[in-house]
A and B are shown apart, each in its own frame.
Chain A
C-alpha cells in the first residue's frame, strides 16, 4: 500500500509537469515587473498605445482637423459628416471615433506602471533611483496628456487614477474642471523631474537611458519642454492665458537646450524634413520609424490627403478647395503658398500640388515610404504624428500675450513666424485685430496638423462674436458624442446633452 501511495504521488507530480506550460504569446503576472527590461517594455507600450489611439482611424486629424476646418471630403460620406459636425451620423468611422477606449488603455497602462514600478526597483538592483524617477515622470505626463486630449474631445470624462486591476468598477464622468486641475498638477510635477534630453548626461538623467544613445531617444519620449508645452496648451484651453504665457515662456526661453529650433519652410515641407521619423525638434510626437520597420499604411495624414501625381491614387479623400486656399493664403511671397501678384500664377506651391486642377493636393506632409523617395507607387508612410512644435507654441504664446494685453511682445512672436515664412510683418493698420492675425497665422502654419478645430474653439471663446458658435460651446456641441456601446457598458456614463 505504501508503494502504491508513492506511485500515485509520482504520478501526480508528473501530471503537474505535463500540464504546466507557459503561454508563448502572453506573459503572466509572475513573469513581469521583474527587471528593468520589463519597465522599458511597459514604458514603451504606453507610448505605443498612445500612438495607436492617435493613429486609429487617423483619429488625431478626425478630432482636430476636419470639423468645420479647411478640408472638404470628396466622396467619403463619413468624413463629410465629421466636417459638417454631424457627429451622430450612422457610419462605422464615427462610431469608432466616439469611443474613448484607446485613450483609457494609455491611462490604464500608465497607472499599471506607476503601481508596479516599485516592484522592479526592489527586484532589480540595476534599475536606478534616477531611472525610476524619470520613468514615473513620463508616465504621469502621458496619463495627463491622454486626459487633456480627451477633455478637449469629450469634455467631462471619468477620472481614473489607478488601474483597479481585476476589480474594475464603473465610474461616472467627472467635471472637466476637476480633470483639468488634475492634469495641470500632474504636468507641473512631471515637468520638474523630466530631463531636457535623454542619454546626454542631463542633470536629471545621467548616463545612457536604458543603455541606448541619445539618437535612439531623439524626440521620442516626454521631456521637460514637452511638459511645459502641453501645460501652455492646457492653460490656454481653459482661457488661463496668464498661466499659459508663463509656461509658454519657459519653452521659448529654453528650446535650444532641448535641441529645438525654428523651421525653415523648406524643412517643414520637404519629405525628409520635419515630419520625417524622429527628431529632437519634435516637442511631442509619435513616430513611425522606417528603420525599425514601423512604417504603416494608415495613421498618417498622407493616407487622406495625397493622390495623383504625388501618389498612386485617383483622388484624395480630403482636400482644401481652391477658394479656401486663395482666401487663407492671401499674403504675397508666402513660402507655404502664394500667388504671384502680377501673373496670378502660384509662385510658391509648397503646401499644394496640382493647384490648377479642380482638386488640389495638400502636399505639406509627404513622407512616402522611407521619406527619401518620390516614388508614388506604394502608399506606405513613415511620417510622424506631430502633436505640438516650437512654431505652435510661439503662436500660442503670441495669442496668450495678446489676450493679456502685452501687444508688442505678441506682435514680435507673430513676426518671428512671419519672418520664417517670408511674409510681411504684422501691420495693425492694414490687418486690424491682432488676435485675428495670430489665428490666421496658426491656420496657415498648422494646416493639416490637427489643430484647426481646437483653435476655432479658443478663438471663439476669446472673441465671443459668433452667436451660433457660442451656442455650440454653451450647449456642449463642441464635444464629440460618447459611443453608444460605452453607455451600454457603463450605465453611469451619460450622453453629452447636445447629442441626446
Chain B
C-alpha cells in the first residue's frame, strides 16, 4: 500500500511538471478514439497473412515487411543471431558488441524483452559468437500466438518507452486476445523440407592450378620449397580425389510446425491457452532448431471497471549448431596445426565427421515471461493501470569435443547464463470529453525496470580420456582436496563469472488534446534515471511534442475519392542507455593483464592484479547521457473508397552526445578514452503503399503493396571537435560529413607489370612506395590520390555503404474464390559487399604455415563461387600485401532482389459444398516456398550473408530453399 501511495504521489508530482506544457494530441491516446475510416497502419504486420510461413525468428518475419526495418541475417543457421536496424544506424560498428547496442527493444504485450548482454566478449579471444548457446532470443516467440506486430518509429508514439526507443523506435508485439462469449480452437500445422543447394566443388587439382600461376610468375626457389604439402602429392586421393564432400555436408532436411490454441470465456472472464512446436532446419551442416512453446493468458473483470489480466509464456529452444572449424577453435581458444586442411573427398571427410558422434554440443535456451496487469476505471474519467511483469531467459551450453577431433586434446566447456528483467509500471489517466468536440487526456506514469545479467562459464582441456565428459570435483569437504578437480588437470581448467546490474527508473507526464477529430496536440515530459550513468548525472529529462491535422475532416470532406488524410508531425527526444555499468564509475580500476591470444589473464604469480583499464579504455568523470532527437513528418491517406492506402513519413533522426572510444595518447598506456560528443544523423523517407487494383465486386482480387525506406546516414560530429578518426584497428575511418558505415579503401587500378612502369618522383628520384616499401613489378597499381608519391592511408577513400541506402519489400496478393496466392519480395539497394572470401583465397601465401584464424580452411574452401579470372595476378609474396581487403578490388555491388515467399492457400470453408453450419469455421490448406531466387550483381554467394562490417567471409550458412505444405483450422 505504501508503494501505491508513493506512486500516486509521484504521478501527481509529474502532473505538476507536465501542466505548463500544452495540449493534447493524439495518435497514441490509450483510450480508444472514434475511428472513422479504417486505414491499415503501414508498419503494422498482421499475422493473418504471415502465419503460414516457416519463419524461425521474428527477424525473418520482419524482413521486407515494414518500411525502415532492415534485417541483417548473416547466416541461415536456424536460431543464430541476426540484427534489426530501424531507420539506419547511429552506432559505428567497431566491434561485435556495437551491434547489440544498436538493437531496438522488442516489447511483447508490454514486456520489454531482455536480450543477451555482450559482456561475455570480454573473456573471448574471438567475437564471432556470444558465449553459450548464442541463440537468437527473438526466435523464442511463437508467431502463431501473435495478433499483430507493429514497428513504432515515430517518437510521437515511441517516446513513451523512453530510452528503450533510442534505437529508432520499438517493436510492439501483441498476442492474440482471448475470445469472449464463445469457444475457439485453432490449429496450424505444416510439414516441409529444406532443399540442398547446388555447389560447384573443387579439389586440390583446382587449387594447385590456381596457385601455380602465382608460383610460375613470382616464386623464388626458396618460396617454391615451402609449397604446401597437401597440394604437393597429386596421387593423394584425399585431396586430389573426387570432391564430393557436399554429399555429407548438404542434405534435404525436414521442417515442421504445429500449434494449437484454445480460448473461451465470457465478458467477465476469458482465457486462451496455446502450445506449439516448431522445427527449423538448414540443409547445410545438419543444423536445426527446435522450439517448444506454451502460453496462457487470462482476463478477468471481478468488479465493474476493474480488469485483471495476466499472461505467462514459456519457451524452450534447442539448437544443433554448425561444425565450422573456426567456431570450434574460437570456443576452445586454441588452434591445432593447420597445415593440412579438411579433405574434399567424402571418404575422408566422413571419417572426420564421424568423430563428432563422440562429442556433444547441447545448446538450450529457456525463456519465461509474463505480466500481471490491473486496469481500474473509476469516476467515468479516471483510469489506473498497474503492470507488473518479468522476462527471464537462460542459456545453457554443454560441450565436449573428443580427443580424436583435435590432436588428441579433448575439450569440455559448460556455460550457464541468464538475463532477467523485472518491471513495474503504473499510470494514472484522466480522460475528459466535453461539448462532443473537445477531448483531453492527461496521464502520469512511472516505470521501473531492473535488469540482471549473469553468466558462469568454465572450460577445461585434456581430460584423461574421451569417456569422462564432465569436470567432476572432489566433494568431500573434510578432505584437503575438497573442490579440486577429480580427473582434469587443475592447470588446464579455466572458469569465469561475471554479472551486471542495471536499473532504469522513469517518470513521465503527458497531455493530449484533440479537437473535433480535426486537430490534435500532445506533449510528453519524461525523466529517466539510469544506474549506469554517473551519479551526478543519473537523470535525463526529455520532452516530446506531437501535432496532427486531419485534412479529410477539416477541408476535404467533399472529396469522395479521398477517404482519409491525416498529416502528423512530432519532435521528440529520448535518452540512450550506456552500454556498460563501467561508465557509471568514472575513473576506475580493473584487471588488464591480458595480451593478444590470451584474453583472460587476471593474475600474476597467483595474485589478482588491478590497474587502470588501459586496454578497454579510460572513462573519466563527466560522462553524460547520450540522447536521440527525431523529427517526423507524416501523411496517412486512403483514396478511392479505401482501395489505395498510402503512408509516408519523412524523418530526421539525430543521435547526440554519444560515447565513443577515441584513440588517444598511447603515452599514458590507454588504447582509447571514452568521450561524449559523437553525433550521427539518419535522414530518410519511409513509404508504404497498398492498393486493391480490381473492382470490389470482381471475384478476382489483386492487392499489390510496396514498402520502401530511403536512409542517408551522416556523421555530424566527433568527440573533441575531431574531423576524422581511425577506429577498429585502423580498418575504419569516421569522417565528419560522411556516413559511418563506409568502406575505407585504396583505389585499385591494375597491376605494375614491369619495374619500369612504377612512377618515379622527378624531384627526389624516389620510386612510388607503399608506406615506405618501394613498389615492384607484380604489385597493385594503387591510385596516389594526394600525389605525394607515397601510397598510404591518405590515399584511401570512403566508398559504398554496409547498410543499404534503399531497402524494403513488395508483395502481390491474389484472391479468387477460396484461393489466395501471395508473392513477397525483399530488396536492398545501394549497398556494397567486401568479398573477403575471395580475398582470402588469393591471399593464400599469408595464410599458409600459420596457426591463427586466418589460416583456417573450412570444408567450404573446396568450393568455388565467383569469377577468379577477373582479378589481376599480383605477387602474393609482396610485403605490400597485394590482396589486402582495404582496397576496392574486392568491393562489389551488393544490391539484391529476392523472392522471399511464395504461397498458395485454399480455404475450404469457401467452397460451395462446404457445410456452413458445422463447427469448423475455417479450414485452409496451404503450400509455401521460401528463398526461391535472388537477383544480384554480386559475384560471391548470397549477398545477404555478410557480417556487420559488410564482409562476406563465407561463414554464413545458405538461406535454404524451403517448401512446406500445411493446414489451418479454426473450430
Q: Which residues of A contact B (CB under 8 A)?
A: 4, 7-8, 10-11, 14-15, 18-29, 32, 38, 40-42, 44-49, 51-53, 55-57, 74-77, 81, 86, 88-92, 95-96, 99-102, 104-109, 112, 158, 160, 163-166, 168-171, 216-217, 220, 278, 287, 289-299, 312-315, 317, 369-370, 377-380, 382, 481, 484-486, 488-490, 499-500
The reply to whether A47 and B604 contact each other, CB–CB distance below 8 Å, is yes
Which of B409, B503, B613, B663 lies in contact with A26, CB distance below 8 A? B613
- What 7 additional pairs, Cβ within 8 angstroms, besides A47-B609, A499-B772? A15-B529, A25-B498, A27-B590, A105-B670, A369-B491, A481-B772, A485-B666
- Asked if B848 is at the interface of the complex by the 8 Å CB criterion, the answer is yes
The reply to whether A44 and B609 contact each other, CB–CB distance below 8 Å, is yes
B853 to chain A, nearest CB (A): 12
Given known A-B contacts A56-B596, A486-B666, A18 and B879 have beta carbons under 8 A apart: no
Closest to A307 in B: B337
The reply to whether A484 and B793 contact each other, CB–CB distance below 8 Å, is yes
Closest to A28 in B: B585
1/0 contact trace for B597-623 toward A, CB 8 Å?
110010111111111111100101100
Q: Which residues of B contact A (CB under 8 A)?
A: 5-6, 9-10, 12-13, 119, 122, 226, 229, 333-334, 336-337, 339-340, 407-409, 448, 461-462, 489-494, 498-503, 505, 529-531, 535, 538, 581-582, 584-598, 601, 603-615, 618, 620-621, 663-671, 673, 726, 729-730, 770-773, 792-793, 845-846, 848-851, 877, 879-881, 884
The 8 closest A-B pairs by CB, nearest first: A75-B849, A105-B669, A45-B609, A292-B606, A48-B604, A298-B597, A48-B593, A101-B666
A151 to chain B, nearest CB (A): 14
Q: Hey, which chain A residues are within 8 Å of B609, CB to CB?
A: 41-42, 44-49
The reply to whether A8 and B13 contact each other, CB–CB distance below 8 Å, is yes
The reply to whether A315 and B339 contact each other, CB–CB distance below 8 Å, is yes
The reply to whether B339 and A314 contact each other, CB–CB distance below 8 Å, is yes
The reply to whether A44 and B603 contact each other, CB–CB distance below 8 Å, is yes
Which of A27, A106, A278, A379 lies in contact with B588, CB distance below 8 A? A27
B264 to chain A, nearest CB (A): 41
The reply to whether B669 and A109 contact each other, CB–CB distance below 8 Å, is yes
B598 to chain A, nearest CB (A): 5
The reply to whether B793 and A74 contact each other, CB–CB distance below 8 Å, is no
Q: Hey, which chain A residues are within 8 Å of B618, CB to CB?
A: 168
Given known A-B contacts A19-B503, A101-B666, A292 and B603 have beta carbons under 8 A apart: yes
Identify 24 residue pairs between A and B in the complex whose beta-carbon atoms are under 8 Å apart, listed by A's number: A18-B448, A19-B538, A21-B502, A25-B498, A25-B500, A44-B604, A52-B594, A89-B879, A101-B614, A102-B669, A105-B615, A166-B620, A168-B618, A293-B493, A294-B601, A294-B604, A294-B606, A295-B491, A370-B491, A378-B409, A380-B461, A485-B663, A499-B772, A500-B772
The reply to whether A18 and B505 contact each other, CB–CB distance below 8 Å, is yes
The reply to whether A44 and B608 contact each other, CB–CB distance below 8 Å, is yes
Given known A-B contacts A21-B503, A293-B493, A28 and B588 have beta carbons under 8 A apart: yes
B621 to chain A, nearest CB (A): 7
Q: Hey, which chain A residues are within 8 Å of B792, CB to CB?
A: 484
The reply to whether A171 and B588 contact each other, CB–CB distance below 8 Å, is no
B674 to chain A, nearest CB (A): 12
The reply to whether A41 and B610 contact each other, CB–CB distance below 8 Å, is yes
The reply to whether A29 and B772 contact each other, CB–CB distance below 8 Å, is no
Give the CA-CA distance A163 to B585 in the complex, in Å: 19
Give the CA-CA distance A22 to B531 in the complex, in Å: 9
Given known A-B contacts A49-B593, A105-B592, A41 and B669 have beta carbons under 8 A apart: no
Give the CA-CA distance A481 to B503 in the complex, in Å: 48
B119 to chain A, nearest CB (A): 8
A301 to chain B, nearest CB (A): 14
Closest to B772 in A: A88
B355 to chain A, nearest CB (A): 16
**Residue in B531, B614, B670 with the greatest tally of chain A CB atoms within 10 Å:** B614
Q: Hey, which chain A residues are within 8 Å of B448, CB to CB?
A: 18
Which of A46, A104, A292 lies in contact with B611, CB distance below 8 A? A46
Give the CA-CA distance A92 to B886 in the complex, in Å: 13
**Residue in A57, A91, A314, A499 with the greatest tally of chain B CB atoms within 10 Å:** A314
The reply to whether B845 and A77 contact each other, CB–CB distance below 8 Å, is yes
Give the CA-CA distance A292 to B846 in the complex, in Å: 36
Give the CA-CA distance A43 to B887 in the complex, in Å: 45
Which of A90, A216, A499 lies in contact with B881, CB distance below 8 A? A90
The reply to whether A29 and B669 contact each other, CB–CB distance below 8 Å, is no
Q: Hey, which chain A residues are within 8 Å of B668, CB to CB?
A: 104, 108, 160, 163-164, 168
A236 to chain B, nearest CB (A): 27
The reply to whether A278 and B605 contact each other, CB–CB distance below 8 Å, is yes
Give the CA-CA distance A313 to B851 in the complex, in Å: 9
Give the CA-CA distance A51 to B611 in the complex, in Å: 14
A481 to chain B, nearest CB (A): 8
Give the CA-CA distance A305 to B610 in the complex, in Å: 32
B721 to chain A, nearest CB (A): 14
Given known A-B contacts A292-B606, A315-B849, A96 and B596 have beta carbons under 8 A apart: yes
Q: Hey, which chain B residues are within 8 Å of A81, CB to CB?
A: 879
Q: Hey, which chain B residues are within 8 Å of A164, CB to CB?
A: 668
The reply to whether B605 and A287 contact each other, CB–CB distance below 8 Å, is yes
Q: Hey, which chain A residues are within 8 Å of B501, CB to CB?
A: 21, 24
The reply to whether A47 and B605 contact each other, CB–CB distance below 8 Å, is yes
The reply to whether A489 and B665 contact each other, CB–CB distance below 8 Å, is yes
Closest to B409 in A: A378
The reply to whether A40 and B879 contact each other, CB–CB distance below 8 Å, is no
Given known A-B contacts A28-B585, A216-B606, A297 and B597 have beta carbons under 8 A apart: yes
Give the CA-CA distance A268 to B501 in the complex, in Å: 51
Closest to A78 in B: B846
Closest to B497 in A: A24
The reply to whether B605 and A23 contact each other, CB–CB distance below 8 Å, is no
The reply to whether B849 and A290 contact each other, CB–CB distance below 8 Å, is no
**Residue in B408, B531, B606 with the greatest tally of chain A CB atoms within 10 Å:** B606
Give the CA-CA distance A379 to B841 in the complex, in Å: 28
Which of A29, A52, A102 lies in contact with B601, CB distance below 8 A? A52
B332 to chain A, nearest CB (A): 10
Closest to B848 in A: A75
The reply to whether A55 and B590 contact each other, CB–CB distance below 8 Å, is no
Closest to A160 in B: B667
